[in-house]
Structure 1
């Protein structure tokens, strides 16, 4: 799925890749520490800035 902001698409792809790997390799095995938190924060900050413009 694409980002709601084209300028943030690359960040979303990086976050999605990180999340999918974390979910399948760690979360489903009981490891709940979110390794993708920083990428998520950067992506959501990008989206918020673009919504203001």
Structure 2
């Protein structure tokens, strides 16, 4: 299965590392379980973390 990490973080392919960090923080805050106490956001947060780790390193 193909996962588009750039689309997941809502960035373009030419984005630098500082913008990747900013996009990660934005998405992490947006989908954090404390923000959505009645929804299960575990899978979305795992995908956001995976995208961040792969694109940054």
Query: Under TM normalisation by the shorter chain, which class is it?
Result: 0.3 to 0.5
* TM-score using structure 2 length: 0.44
* TM-score using structure 1 length: 0.46
The structure that has the greater radius of gyration is 1
